[in-house]
Amino acid sequence: MRRKIAYPLLALGMTAGATLTVASPASAHGYVSSPPSRQALCASGAVSDCGQIQFEPQSVEGPKGLKSCDGGVSQFSVLSDESRNWPAKAVGSSVNFSWVLTARHKTSTWDYFIGGTKVATFDDGGAQPAAVVNHTVDLSKFPGRQKVLAVWNIADTANAFYNCVDLNIGGSSSSTPTTAPTTSAPTTAPTATTPPSATTPTKAPATTAPTSTTTAPPAAGGSAWAPGVSYKTGDVVTFNGVRYQTRQSHTSIVSWEPSIYTLALWLPL
Q: Does 103 interact with Cu ion (rule: CB under 5 A)? A: yes
Nearest to Cu ion of 34, 107 (CB atom):
107
Nearest to Cu ion of 76, 86 (CB atom):
76
Window of 100-108, 191-199, 203-211, 243-251 that interacts with Cu ion by CB under 5 A: 100-108
The site map against Cu ion for 47-86 (x = CB under 5 A) is ----------------------------------------
Give the β-pairing of 117-123 and 107-114. antiparallel
How many angstroms separate the CA atoms of 174 and 181, rounded?
15
In the complex, least distance from residue 149 CB atom to Cu ion, rounded to whole angstroms: 19
Q: Does 89 interact with Cu ion (rule: CB under 5 A)? A: no
Residues 21-40 that bind Cu ion (CB under 5 A): 29
Question: Do 44 and 251 touch, CB atoms closer than 8 A?
Answer: yes
In the complex, least distance from residue 62 CB atom to Cu ion, rounded to whole angstroms: 12
Window of 1-9, 77-85, 120-128, 199-207 that interacts with Cu ion by CB under 5 A: 1-9
In the complex, least distance from residue 101 CB atom to Cu ion, rounded to whole angstroms: 9
Per the document, the length of the chain is 269
Q: Does 242 interact with Cu ion (rule: CB under 5 A)? A: no
Peptide bond into 35 cis (omega under 30): yes
* Count of residues touching Cu ion (by CB under 5 A): 3
Nearest to 39 by CA among 107, 99, 106, 114: 99
CA distances, 254 to each of 6, 23, 38, 131, 162 (Å):
10, 12, 19, 17, 21
Q: Does 250 interact with Cu ion (rule: CB under 5 A)? A: no
Nearest to Cu ion of 88, 103 (CB atom):
103
In the complex, least distance from residue 103 CB atom to Cu ion, rounded to whole angstroms: 4
Q: Which residues neighbour 15 within 8 Å (Cβ) at sequence distance 6 or greater?
A: none
Alpha helices in the chain (DSSP H): 7-12, 38-44
C-alpha neighbours within 13 Å on the C-beta side of residue 100: 30
For Cu ion, the binding residues (CB under 5 A) are 1, 29, 103
